[in-house]
Structure 1
Amino acid sequence: MSNGDEEGVLRVLVVITRGERGGAQVHVRDLLVGLQGRAALHLAVGEEGFLADEARTIGVPVHPIPALQREVAPRRDAAATRALLALARRIRPHLVHTHSTKAGLLGRLVARRLHLPAIHTAHSWSFSDGISWRRKAFAIPLEAAAGRWTDRFIAVSAADREVGLRYRVADDARVVVVHNGVADTSLRARPDRPGVPVLVMVARLAAPKDPLLLLQALEQVRAPCRLRLVGDGPDRGAVEDAVARLGIEDRVELLGTRRDIDAILADAQVGVLVSRQEGFPLVVLEAMRAGLPVVASDVGGVSEAVEHERTGLLVPRGDGEALRAALERLSADPGLRAAMGRAGRSAYEARFTVQRMVEGTAEVYADVARRHGLPALRRPQTPGRP
C-alpha cells in the first residue's frame, strides 16, 4: 500500500530499536508482511540492516531514527524522542505499536504526547526472571509509568504475561497473549539420518544466550556429535577461546551470521537453545517447523513450545550436567530424535504458524481501533509467504 492509498485506512507506526536479524526483528518483519494491505504501515527503526531491508522489499515506508539505541543515554534518548515526535506529526498515525524495551518506552511517550493509542509487545520484559535486581529496580518504575500510557500489551508467551502482572506494570484486562509464529518452508530435517548427528544453536553470541555453558556441556558428551553455532555478537571471542581451551575444535563450527537458517536446520538432527532468559524464542519454533527435536533451557515461555519428553528435552537454567545428559541422550538415540521431531512438527502446524500470530495481532489492532473510533483494518488478502 503506497502512501497515496492511506486515506481512510488504519495507519500504524511500528517502532523498534535494533534492525539486525533477531527474534523480535523477524517477528516484526512477519507482521509487516501479514498486515500489509490491511493497514497503512510505517516502520521507525534505530538502524539500517535486515529489518529495514525486508520492510522496503515489501513496500513499507522505513524511517531510520539513528538516535534510537538500546543503551541508556539521556541526550541521545531525548533526540530520539524528538525525532519520533516529528515523524508522528508528519505521517499522522492512528496508533503506535512498539516492540522491546527502549522503543517501547520512547514510542509510548510519543503516543501519549500526541494522544494516540499505543500497543506494546515486550518480547520478554527488561525485569524478567534471570535479570539482576539492580536492573529490575531501574526498569520496573519506567515500565510501570509507560504501562499507564498503553492501551494493550501483547505478551508473546503466558510466562511474559505472568511476569508483567506480577510486577504490576500491566493489568489483567489489557494483556493479551499472542504466541510467536513462523512462516512455513518446504525444507525438512532428517533427525534419524545415519552418521554423526549435528546439533545446531542459532543465536546472537551475547547475553542472555549462554553458549559457554553449551560448550562446557558438549565437552563432556561421549556420544559422537558435532555442534554448529550460527550467529555472531560481542561474545564471539570468548566462544572461540572456550572452544580452544576445551579442546573441541574438531566438534564445533562457528558459522557466523547466515541468511540460510532454514537450510542449516534442515541439515541438522537436533535444535539447541541455551539461555538465561527468553520470551518466546523463534529459533525454537523454526527447529520444530523443520521437524527437529529441541534441547532448550526451561526459561520464559520456552516450555509453552517445547513439551518435555514429547517434542524435546528441557533443562533447568544454568544446569550444565542436565544439559550434558540431554545432549548425550538425543545424540545417542536416532529413534527418539525422529519421534520427538515428528511431534514438534505437529505442534508447530497446530499452534505456531505465522498466520495464527498475524491474526491474533490483527484482533488486537481491531479492538483498539473500535474503542477509539479509528478506521477498521481491511479484510485479509490471500496470505503470502513472508
Structure 2
Amino acid sequence: MAPRAATLPRMTPPPGPILELLVSTQPGGGPQHVLAVATWLRARRWRPIVAGPRDGALFDRFRESGIETVELATDRLRPRTLLALRRLVSERGVSLIHSHGKGAGLYGRLVARLLGVPAVHTLHGLHFEGYGAAARAAYLALERRLSRWTRVIVNVSRAQEAEGLALRLFDRRQSRVVVNGVDVARLGATALERWDARAAL
C-alpha cells in the first residue's frame, strides 16, 4: 500500500521523471509495490515512468492506471538493453532511477553511474541460497560494488537489513527500511464480495 499523504511532508517534484525499473511485471510483491508507489507519485503531480519486460498482467495495468510504461528486457543480460536504458534516461531527463530486482538493479545502477543520475535500489529479499559457492561469491561481490553507486538501499524488513549488513552488501548509512504494505480496505472488500457470492449460491 502506498504511504498516506498525512505521514509525509510536502515534497517538491524533481525537474525530470522518476524511473521505476522492474525485472518482471508478473503479479507479485515487487511489481504490486511499484504500482502503488507510481500511482501515489502520479496523484501528487510527480512524473513516474515504469520500465520492465512485458511478461505479466501488470504491464498493461500500469498503462491503464495512466502511468507511462516502457517495455525493456531487464530480465535478460544483453548490451542492447543497457543501451536502450541509457537512451531512455538521457532522452527523458530522468532525475532518479529506482530499481527493483537483480537484473534491474544491475542495469539501473550501471546507467546511473554512467550518466551521473542518483540511484535507489530496493532489495525485495536476498535470494542466493540456491547458488553454488563460486556464483554466490560473485553475486555478493557484484552487489557490494553496485551499492557504492547507490544513494539509498531500501530493505523491506528489519531482518533483511540485518542480513544485508552482516554480508556487507551496503553501509548502514545507506539503508532504509520500508515495509511493503497491504491495502487492508481492498483486501476486506474482496473478502466480503466472495462471501456474498457464496451466500448467493
Q: TM-score range by the shorter chain?
A: 0.7 to 0.9
> Structure 2 matches for 1:247-258, cutoff 5 A?
none
State the alpha-carbon separation in 1 of the partners of residues 154 and 173 from structure 2: 12
Letter paired with 2:138: F
| 1:99 alignment counterpart | 100
Which deviates further from its counterpart, 133-142 or 149-158? 133-142
Q: Deviations over 1:340-373 (max 9, x none)?
A: xxxxxxxxxxxxxxxxxxxxxxxxxxxxxxxxxx
How far off is 1:266 after superposition? 6.0
Residue of structure 2 in register with 1:174 after alignment: 174
Amino acid at match of 1:49: G
Partner of 2:8: none
Judged with a 3 Å threshold, the aligned counterparts in structure 2 of structure 1 residues 185 and 100 are, in CA distance, closer, same or farther, namely same
Q: Which residue of 2 aligns with 1:114?
A: 115
Q: What corresponds to 1:61 in structure 2?
A: 68
**Structure 2 partner of 1:363:** none
Deviation digits for residues 84-127 of structure 1 (CA, Å, limit 9, x no counterpart)? 00111111111100001110111110011000000000101234
Distance 2:14 2:165 in 1: 36
Deviation at 1:162, TM superposition (A): 1.1
Asked if 1:18 is matched to 2:19, the reply is no
TM-superposition CA deviations, 1:39-73 (whole Å, max 9, x none): 110011122532221211121111101x3215xx4
| Counterpart-to-counterpart distance in 1, 2:162 and 2:39 | 29
**Greater Rg by CA:** 1
Question: Following superposition of structure 1 onto structure 2, how do residues 141-290 of structure 1 map, counting pairs within 5 Å?
Answer: 141-185=141-185, 188=188, 262-263=190-191
Partners of 2:130 and 2:65 lie apart in 1 by 36
The corresponding residue for 1:41 is: 48
Residues of 2 paired with 1:187 and 1:145: CA distance?
A: 40
8 Å CA contact 1:187, 1:266 repeated in 2: no
Residue 172 of structure 1 aligns to a residue whose secondary structure is coil
| 8 Å Cα contact 2:16-2:92 kept in structure 1 | no
User: Which residue does the alignment assign to 1:140?
Assistant: 140
| Distance change >3 Å, CA 138–CA 36, structure 1 → 2 | same
Tell me, yes or no, if the aligned pair for 1:101 and 1:125 is still in contact at 8 Å. Answer: no
Amino acid aligned to 1:46: P
CA–CA distance in structure 1, aligned partners of residues 118 and 40 of structure 2: 21
Q: Kindly tell me: are residues 163 and 264 of structure 1, through their superposed partners in 2, closer, same or farther at Cα, counting changes over 3 Å? A: farther
Structure 1 residues 87 and 163: alpha-carbon distance in aligned structure 2, compared to 1, 3 A threshold: same
**Which residue matches 1:31?**
37
Q: Tell me, in whole angstroms, the C-alpha distance in 2 between the residues paired with 1:14 and 1:187.
A: 25
8 Å Cα contact 1:121-1:154 kept in structure 2? yes
Q: Distance in 1 between matches of 2:75 and 2:186?
A: 36
- CA deviation profile, 1:252-289 (whole Å, cap 9, x unmatched): xxxxxxxxxx449966xxxxxxxxxxxxxxxxxxxxxx
AA in 1 matched with 2:106 = L
Number of residue pairs the alignment of both structures matches: 181
Q: Distance in 1 between matches of 2:193 and 2:163?
A: 31
RMSD after superposition: 2.4
Does structure 2 retain, via aligned residues, the 8 Å contact 1:101–1:126? no
1:19 and 1:266 map into 2 onto residues whose CA distance is: 26
Residues 1:59 and 1:186: Cα distance change in structure 2 (over 3 Å): closer
Q: Percent identity?
A: 33
Q: How far did 1:132 drift?
A: 3.8
What's the CA shift for 1:168? Answer: 1.1
For normalisation by structure 2, the TM-score amounts to 0.81
2:24 is paired with a residue whose SS is: coil
**Alpha carbons 1:126, 1:139 under 8 Å: kept:** no
Question: CA–CA distance in 2 between the matches of 1:265 and 1:141?
Answer: 48
The 8 Å contact of residues 17 and 47 in structure 1, kept in 2 or not, is answered as: no
